[in-house]
């Protein structure tokens, strides 16, 4: 058996023909009880799914006996920052990122959406991951946009295609072309961007095939303004509280002075907002665990309500630091325990809906023939208990098998 462990030889990192035999398959296409079946993987893709007793597979296949185990799609963390932190050199930063990515992969995460980091490094890591040169989830990342006043407050002036300063004089078409050429999948519209410019940026991003991502509030835009401007994925549920303010200033600190501590967690504008988000198929990247551990209980309150009203919620962690396993499992538990998601609904948030945040729902997120072979083989059923996502036996990423 050529199962890979943490320290592997480079020649082992090849996409083999793999046959997962006799697993309970949680395909994530419906919440029906998982059926027993076999999955054939070739060239990193799911070639065939068999729901029958007589197993048939090519002679060269590596057979994994999955009797009594549960096969589900690999998890996607839809909100990470894998390159941030203070590092003296590009290489030191790269080393840190690679360790983090390996940890994520071994914790069951086969894809990440990075929403703000070192663009140049993310490009390298994305390429190396897709070539199987590093042990890493597949990576999709953003180019970051903010107004000049944001950078002034932060004391930074060095701009790159993945970190751009934008104002009314910006050539929006050129800005997006640069972001795209830098390998970004989406743009993160972050702060200090006037509402009419937000509209222009979102429109051009979509025209060039880039996703439009951002925080739920991009001051001075309130959540509803971001929705109307064309935002497609809105991060941090707790930021939805700004919707109840009559108006917001471009300066974040002014808004905090004026409104902080006076927020209600149930207000009529929220219903209007969620109805609109549902209508426009906008995904709430709730980062619910991150919010609640930081004392922002409204993160769970708003996420629960959004879910009840039919808004799609993706699972993301806003990765905080080291821990034995990635935080995605905590996010899933928070969705179930604090926000009334069923186990199946929580798993959707970390698979097919998370994939939709970067428009890869046709490629990953379910177990279907033709899809990328990103899967987890679990020892116990996550539909019975959500924390069973931690009970990992094997991780398969693009057909490469990693044993825990």
Q: Report the nearest approach of Zn ion to the CB of residue 59 (Å).
A: 47
Tell me if residue 348 falls in helix, strand or coil: helix
Of residues 318 and 356, the one with the C-beta less far from Zn ion? 318
Distance CA 365, CA 352 (A): 4
Q: Report the nearest approach of Zn ion to the CB of residue 220 (Å).
A: 20
Of residues 21 and 217, the one with the C-beta less far from Zn ion? 217
* Range 57-76, binding Zn ion (CB under 5 A): none
Give residue 319's Cα distance to chain centre: 11
Of residues 38 and 303, the one with the C-beta less far from Zn ion? 303
CB proximity list for 88: less than 8 A, separation 6 or greater:
none
Binding-residue total with Zn ion (CB under 5 A) = 1
**Window of 25-33, 314-322, 342-350, 396-404 that interacts with Zn ion by CB under 5 A:** 314-322
Q: Which of 225, 285, 318, 374 binds Zn ion (CB under 5 A)?
A: 318
**Window of 11-19, 38-46, 214-222, 316-324 that interacts with Zn ion by CB under 5 A:** 316-324
**Window of 164-172, 268-276, 310-318, 361-369 that interacts with Zn ion by CB under 5 A:** 310-318
* Range 166-185, binding Zn ion (CB under 5 A): none
Considering the rule CB under 5 A, would residue 285 count as an interface residue with Zn ion? no
Query: In angstroms, how far apart are the furthest CA atoms of the chain?
Result: 70
Of residues 204 and 318, the one with the C-beta less far from Zn ion? 318
Q: Using CA of residue 225, residue 227, residue 229, residue 231, what is the dihedral sign?
A: positive
The DSSP code sequence of 127-170 is HHHHTTSSS--EEEEEEEEE-HHHHHHHT----BTTEEE--TTS
Q: Report the nearest approach of Zn ion to the CB of residue 199 (Å).
A: 23
Distance CA 356, CA 370 (A): 17
Helix 268-279 / helix 298-308 crossing angle, nearest 10 deg: 50
Distance CA 75, CA 121 (A): 23
**Window of 183-191, 268-276, 315-323, 327-335 that interacts with Zn ion by CB under 5 A:** 315-323
CA distances from 215 to 188, 189, 192, 241, 305 (A): 8, 8, 12, 12, 18
Give residue 191's Cα distance to chain centre: 21
Of residues 151 and 319, the one with the C-beta less far from Zn ion? 319
Of residues 318 and 333, the one with the C-beta less far from Zn ion? 318
CB-based closest residue to Zn ion: 318
**Window of 140-148, 300-308, 317-325, 326-334 that interacts with Zn ion by CB under 5 A:** 317-325
- Cβ contact 46:368 at 8 Å: yes
Q: Report residue 116 as tokens.
A: 């703000």
Q: Report the nearest approach of Zn ion to the CB of residue 318 (Å).
A: 4
Q: Report the nearest approach of Zn ion to the CB of residue 319 (Å).
A: 8
Of residues 235 and 388, the one with the C-beta less far from Zn ion? 235
Q: Are strands 211-215 and 186-191 parallel, antiparallel or unpaired?
A: parallel
Distance CA 17, CA 48 (A): 11
Q: Report the nearest approach of Zn ion to the CB of residue 33 (Å).
A: 36
* Range 190-219, binding Zn ion (CB under 5 A): none
**Window of 133-141, 142-150, 313-321, 371-379 that interacts with Zn ion by CB under 5 A:** 313-321
Of residues 290 and 348, the one with the C-beta less far from Zn ion? 290
Q: Report the nearest approach of Zn ion to the CB of residue 290 (Å).
A: 8
Using a 10 angstrom Cβ sphere, with 0-12 exposed, 13-18 middle and 19 or more buried, the burial of residue 379 is middle
Chain residues that interact with Zn ion, rule: CB under 5 A: 318
């Amino acid at each position: 058996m050529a199962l890979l462990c943490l320290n592997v030889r480079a020649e082992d990192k090849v996409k083999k023909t793999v046959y997962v035999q006799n697993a309970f398959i949680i395909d994530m296409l419906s919440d029906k009880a998982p059926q027993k079946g076999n999955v054939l993987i070739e060239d990193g893709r799911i070639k065939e799914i068999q729901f029958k007793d007589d197993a048939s597979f090519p002679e060269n296949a590596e057979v994994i006996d999955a009797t009594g185990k549960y096969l589900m799609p690999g998890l996607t963390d839809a909100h990470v920052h894998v390159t941030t932190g203070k590092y003296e050199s590009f290489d030191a930063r790269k080393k840190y990122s690679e360790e983090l990515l390996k940890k994520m992969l071994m914790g069951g995460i086969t894809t990440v959406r990075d929403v703000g980091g070192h663009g140049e490094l993310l490009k390298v890591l994305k390429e190396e991951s897709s070539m199987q040169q590093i042990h890493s989830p597949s990576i999709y990342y953003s180019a970051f946009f903010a107004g000049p006043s944001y950078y002034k407050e932060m004391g930074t002036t060095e701009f790159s295609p993945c970190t751009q300063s934008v104002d009314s004089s910006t050539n929006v078409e050129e800005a997006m072309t640069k972001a795209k050429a830098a390998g970004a999948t989406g743009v993160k519209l972050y702060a200090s961007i006037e509402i009419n410019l937000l509209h222009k940026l979102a429109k051009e991003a979509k025209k060039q095939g880039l996703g439009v991502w951002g925080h739920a509030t991009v001051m001075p835009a309130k959540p509803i303004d971001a929705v109307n401007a064309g935002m497609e994925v809105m991060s941090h549920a707790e930021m939805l509280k700004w919707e109840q303010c009559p108006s917001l200033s471009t300066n974040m600190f002014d808004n905090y002075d004026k409104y902080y501590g006076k927020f209600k967690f149930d207000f009529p504008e929220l219903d209007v907002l969620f109805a609109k988000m549902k209508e426009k198929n906008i995904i709430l990247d709730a980062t619910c665990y991150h919010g609640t551990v930081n004392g922002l209980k409204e993160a769970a309150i708003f996420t629960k309500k959004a879910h009840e009203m039919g808004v799609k919620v993706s699972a993301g962690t806003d990765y905080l630091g080291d821990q034995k396993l990635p935080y995605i499992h905590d996010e899933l538990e928070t969705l179930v325990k604090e926000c009334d998601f069923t186990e199946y609904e929580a798993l959707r948030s970390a698979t097919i809906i998370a994939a939709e945040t970067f428009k890869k729902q046709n490629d990953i997120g379910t177990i279907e023939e033709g899809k990328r072979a990103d899967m987890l083989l679990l020892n116990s059923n996550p539909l019975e208990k959500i924390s069973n996502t931690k009970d990992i036996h094997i991780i398969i990423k693009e057909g490469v098998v990693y044993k825990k």
